[in-house]
Amino acid sequence: MNTVALFAGLKLRLITGNLRGDTARQVGFAFTLILAAGAAVGGFALISLLRLAPADLALAVVTLLYTALLVGWMIVPLMAFGLDDTLDPARLSLFPLRTGVLAVGMFTASATGVWPVATLVVTAGALVGLASGIGGVLVGLLSVLVHFALCLVASRLVTTALSGALRSRRGRDALAVAAIAVVLLFQLPNLLMNRGFGDPAGMLHDMAGALRWTPSGLAAHAIADGGLAGLGEVAVLAVVVLVVGWLWIKALGRALVTADSSTQAASVRRESGLTDRFLPDGLLAAVVSKELKYVRRDPRYRILWFAAVAVVLVMAFSFTGQGMSGAGLPIGLTAFCGMMIAIQLGNAYGIDGRSLWMNAVAFGSQRQFGLDLAGRHLANALIALPVLLLVAVASALFAGEPGAIGWALAAGAGVLGVGFGVGSVTSVLVPYTVPERMNAFTGAAPGQGGQAFGCALLAFTGVGVLSAPFAIAAAFGAVWVLAFAPLYGLAIEALGRALATKIGFVRMPELLEAVSRPT
Amino acid sequence: MSDAVRTTALFKRYGPQVAVAEVDLVVPAGSFAGLVGPNGAGKTTTLSMITGLLRPDGGEAHVDGHHVWRDPLQVKARIGVLPEGLRLFERLSGRELLLYNGRLRGIPKPEVERRADELLEVMDLTAAAGKLVVDYSTGMRKKIGLAAALLHNPSVLFLDEPFEGVDPVSANTLTEVLRRFTASGSTVIFSSHVMDLVERLCDWVSVMSGGHIVAQGPIDEVRAGRSLNQAFLDLVGGPQAATGEGLGWLGSAERR
């Protein structure tokens, strides 16, 4: 009991200490609190309402939800590794703690926090939604607690078991990109539903049936069954928790004594000098070739590009699912793709981050600053234009409107230019740090979530408003205006770049500070 | 002799905390200068403000007679910087980093390549030239950072803790390069709290404590017959050695 109180207190201290004297973090934490409280109350209410639904449907929904919670607990901290605010066992390895005490302590620390409490509340919602009679509630209560424990222990097992791989750079790079794939995987059922495969209720039952004997299925059924059968299911679940917990302790013991796997990296290829063949020697060529290398090598860029293309694919699915066809499909889709790509540069200096001083210490004039920005746009356009062409051709052929390829490409290029222009301004007005370890939930350093949100909002609004004339004209049949879209985009890009150069050069120290936040 | 660096009443505060309180730092041209002080004395903040990376709240800074904030073009062409924390473009290889840095400053590519290859050779990094900086060790990072700072042949070089975490072999390489650099009349200013090193390398020293310059001048003058370490402790007023009361339990005598 002593250990529990000690570790719970330690974790609380860590949380509050993290907030001290930093308003931005405090606001961020308040936001998290509201979000978690909302999720907890909303989740609890929704599950409670299942009481009104037919019993078998309610059971199926709870089974699915429990599974989602469990899988979420296993995957989310993994993708957020590094931002995970539970206690790092490595820090405790020098204290003379027996394994049992350490395990109880780590478990307590895992259970202390905003999200664990929210999870517990949501899980407990099933008591209202499913349980029948006093016996049912009592067995259900046990079931809820054990399933909650399973979430925590499984989560710790996964992170601990993979911590070795996560310590090497290549492992982290791979994981960062894998994270986005997982997010897409979660979208899959959504997409399928959108396409209207089968009847949703039947699908729900099928999935719940398949999950019947998984730990989450057992937990859900235990609450619904109550009585001895329920008790039996809880007992099985408890054994699972113990086994997973035992595995975790073993993994922990091994992780604590395994050295960091240092990377014996291979050399990168010498640059081909392709950009130098087309561009005059100087700052612009240097920036373009550096940016192109970064897009290839930095996992954060890989994530951004991967995500942009993936979102376009998802949109394509839902456009066609909604029966959209004709020339509007390729034009709309390519324009959307242009925006998604351009928005990546809405915080152009964020990924440079702490390295940006190298530019700052070399740039003594506005001209240099502007050339740097132009180089970034050029490098991205070099990749974006082929992608846009591909999207335009594929979607036009799919829609059976090969004549629209040209219009679609023009629209895409126009939006790309507008996006670059708007993005230049947001980059210098609301810059924020993009953490090295980007995860699927936040693309900003702790405490800068507001800036990231504001930046994205500003960028999307700006692109929307500035592209609106063309969008409206095209929607009313005047497709020919799109012929001027690339020129318009170029003009906005130049304008935005000029404005950003003026603001950014003066604000360089502030810019540097905003993108150099510890992550 | 003209001054390579001169600040007047340079001032910076973070909230209620005054980090740098009206510092008048002077470094004569051609000197190998050490900026020493305990942790939190304001060394990094001062260097950041002189190199134009941090906006001061008051005061002025001049490099080679040019105002840092009013004449950035002249100043930035003249300075080389190695900031603390080894922040570099990590996804470039060592050689690519040097090329990028040189071309950023408008040096023609063939010339940058020549200088980069020579620097890599001197820094003993030729074998690692093709590896990404993110996979470099601390010593290698300091060396590639110094190479990047030297590439455009600056007249004043600012180094923040260049020897921290560097192995003796790499440290020796660094000092050799820096000695050659100052022998030609260029200026080096580096911050450190390793007194032996400062004593061995520097001919000029500025001592900072609590955001103030507490002593400044040719190293023999500041030392005044003591070792630099003793002079430093006398100046910044370190706590008395643990000889008297307290800590009585520490040591083998009390352990059972």
ipTM: 0.88
Instruction: Inform me whether the C-beta atom of residue B137 falls under 8 Å from chain A C-beta atoms.
Output: no
Pairwise pLDDT comparison (A231 vs A178), residue with the higher score: A231
Instruction: Report the mean per-residue pLDDT for chain B.
Output: 88
Q: Is the pLDDT of residue A486 over 90?
A: yes
By Cβ distance, the residue of A286, A294, A365 closest to B104 is A286
Same domain, A356 and A402: yes
CA angle A150-A250-A101, nearest 5°?
75
B127 touches chain A (CB under 8 A): no
**Structural domain of A462:** 277-515
Contact A357 B81 (CB under 8 A): yes
Domain count for chain A, please give it. 2
CB pair distance less than 8 Å for B96 and A271? yes
Nearest to A276 among B55, B90, B109 (CB): B109
Mutate to test the interface with B, among A357, A376, A506, A511 (most CBs of B within 10 A): A357
Q: Are residues A159 and A301 in the same domain?
A: no
Q: Cβ B103–A285 below 8 Å, yes or no?
A: yes
Clarify whether residues A281 and A244 are in a common domain.
Answer: no
Tell me if A421 sits within 8 A of A497, measured CB to CB: yes
Report CB contact under 8 Å: A361, B87.
Answer: no
CB A101 within 8 A of CB A249: no
The crossing angle, in degrees rounded to 10, of helices B138-150 and B94-104 is 30
A320 and A251 in one domain?
no
**What residues have CB less than 8 Å from A33, skipping those under 6 apart?**
A114
- Show the tokens assigned to B169: 């072999």
Q: Are residues A158 and A80 in the same domain?
A: yes
Does the pTM surpass 0.90? The reply is no
- Out of A269, A286, A510, name the one closest to residue B103 (CB): A286
Interface test with B, best of A263, A264, A358 (most B CBs within 10 A): A358
Say if B108 is an interface residue toward chain A (CB within 8 Å): yes
Q: What pLDDT is attached to residue A83? A: 39
Q: What angle do CA A448, A454, A457 make, to 5 degrees?
A: 140
Rounded to the nearest angstrom, the minimum Cα separation between A358 and chain B is 7
Cβ pair A361:B105 closer than 8 A: no
Residue A300 pLDDT greater than 80, yes or no: yes
Of the candidates B38, B3, B25, B1, the one whose C-alpha atom is nearest the C-alpha of residue B155 is B3
- A186 and A292 assigned to the same domain: no
Q: Which of A190, A224, A257 is the last residue of a domain?
A: A257
Do A169 and B134 make contact, defined as CB atoms within 8 angstroms? yes
Domain boundaries, chain B: 3-254
Q: Is pLDDT above 90 for A449? A: no
pLDDT at residue A464 greater than cutoff 90: yes
A262 within a domain of the structure (yes/no): no
What one-character-per-residue DSSP string does A193-224 give? HHHT-S-HHHHHHHHHHHTTTSHHHHHHHHHH
In a domain, A69, yes or no: yes
Averaged pLDDT for residues A4-31: 79
In a domain, A270, yes or no: no
Q: Is B227 left (phi over 0), alpha (psi -120 to 50) or beta?
A: beta
In a shared domain, residues A225 and A374: no
In angstroms, the separation between the Cα of residue A11 and the nearest Cα of chain B is 28
Q: Are residues A368 and A241 in the same domain?
A: no
Asked if residue A483 and residue A428 are part of one domain, the reply reads: yes
Report yes or no on A44 lying in a domain.
yes
Average pLDDT, chain A: 83
**A–B: how many Cβ contacts below 8 A?**
100
- Domain B3-254 homologous superfamily, CATH: P-loop containing nucleotide triphosphate hydrolases (3.40.50.300)
A158 and A95, same structural domain?
yes
Using an 8 Å CB-CB cutoff, list chain B residues near A290.
89, 92, 96, 100
Per-residue DSSP letters for A372-415?
A: HHHHHHHHHHHHHHHHHHHHHHHHHHHHT-GGGHHHHHHHHHHH
Q: Of A57-66, A102-111, B15-24, B111-120, which has the strongest mean pLDDT?
A: B111-120
* Same domain as A97, residue A8: yes
CB contact under 8 A, A282 and B83: no
Does A241 map to a domain?
A: yes
In this structure, is residue A220 part of a structural domain? yes
Residue A250 reports pLDDT greater than 80: yes
Q: How far is B36 from chain A (nearest CA, A)?
A: 23
**C-beta atoms of B88 and A355 within 8 A:** yes
